[in-house]
Amino acid sequence: MKPDVELKTLHLTTPFRIAHGASSSRQVVRLSGGGAVGEAPFVPYYHENVEATLAWLRAGQGAPPSRAAELALDLWRLDIEGRRKGLPLSSEVPDDLPRREGLLPGCRSFSIPTSLPDFAGLVEETAQQFQVLKLKLGSGDTEHDEQIVATARRVAPRTKLLVDVNGWWSVADAGKMIPKLEAYSLELIEQPIHHDGGIAAWQALRAALPKNLTPLYADESAQNATDVPALVGLVEGVNVKLLKCGSFCGAIKMIQIARSHGLGVLLGCMIESSIGITAAAHLAAWADYADLDGHLYLADDDYLGLTFDAEGCLLMPDGPGLGASPR
Ligand SMILES: [Mg+2]
């Protein structure tokens, strides 16, 4: 059976600004058929070929031309399989990978603010539900970056704070900023330096930093399981996203490798509908942090899946496969 292939544009309620730029809409490729769905997002800074992706998914021949193509097809197939067996997607994870019991607190992310007073209000309001917040830094001005963190800490004194620089600091800036940010008791700092610098840049950063500071996590530097071993000793954890790995099993493999080296796992996502977010959330029991709020930025998310309880913890939908259903 071949899936129906659709290119969908999803609209954000307000533009999301990170170091890579701002966006107000995102495209996803959606597959349906056999009562199942699959989806993968196109991320602007990945520059994946949309036309080639759609053509490959329709024809189904040769190697996938993009990670979006590979992931959308993988999730659709797993949804069919899960529905046939009556098992959730999470049943794909091997029994020997240690899992947490109980609910995992979800994380809400904030794009880089221009108005700190508006940002303070938003953080304060969000912290009433969510116990974990992630701040996007990399504004181009390290003083403004520190003000973002100081503002959030002031209005949310007990909330766990993660920051994500998206590779925007130079090694020298990161060497100054990371010790400065100790004052704000952060949980972790994600991708402080650009991935283009490779392992040598991480080594230079570590050499410039005192020991035992806030844990550093790699995101852009750790695309999939293959990238993890070289980062051991340089980072304390990795950000695992389905799209980076190209498949659900690829993400499981990345978690397995990370855990085998004693690394932390932050589950991440792109801005995408509840289909992709819910698929990723099936890995939450094997993660330390779940940054899975990409669907909450959308004005027109047409599916229902992962939700959050009054304390901001992840609530999975019932049902086999991905468990996402049309609204
Ligand atoms: Mg990141």
**CATH for 124:** 3.20.20.120
Residues 131 and 56 in one domain: no
From first CA to last CA, the distance across the chain in angstroms is 25
For residue 116, CA distances in Å to 77, 132, 144, 166 come to 45, 19, 9, 20
Say if 117 falls within a structural domain.
Answer: yes
Residues spanned by the domain of 230:
100-326
Ligand 1 midpoint to CA 157 (Å): 23
Ligand 1 midpoint to CA 191 (Å): 7
**CATH for 53:** 3.30.390.10
Say if 95 falls within a structural domain.
Answer: no
Protein residues near ligand 1, an ion, with CB under 5 A: 164, 190, 219
Ligand 1 midpoint to CA 164 (Å): 6
Residues 164 and 111 in one domain: yes
Consecutive sets of 10 residues in the chain, 327 residues long: mean pLDDT of each?
96 84 91 98 93 95 95 98 98 96 95 96 98 97 98 98 98 98 98 98 98 97 98 98 98 98 98 97 98 96 98 97 97
Place of tokens 């303070």: 120
Ligand 1 midpoint to CA 218 (Å): 8
Q: At residue 138, what are phi and psi to the nearest 5 degrees? A: 100, 40
Phi-psi region of 102 (alpha: psi -120 to 50; beta: other; left: phi over 0): left
* pLDDT in the model for residue 61: 84
Ligand 1 midpoint to CA 159 (Å): 19
Ligand 1 midpoint to CA 59 (Å): 33
Ligand 1 midpoint to CA 84 (Å): 35
Ligand 1 midpoint to CA 239 (Å): 7
Residues 245 and 119 in one domain: yes
Residues 166 and 39 in one domain: no
Write down which residue in 32, 62, 90 finishes a domain. 90
Tally of structural domains, the chain = 2
Nearest to 306 by CA among 122, 296, 159: 296
Residues 157 and 12 in one domain: no
* pLDDT in the model for residue 255: 98
Say if 321 falls within a structural domain.
Answer: yes
* pLDDT in the model for residue 267: 98
Ligand 1 midpoint to CA 19 (Å): 10
Counting every residue written for the chain, the total comes to 327
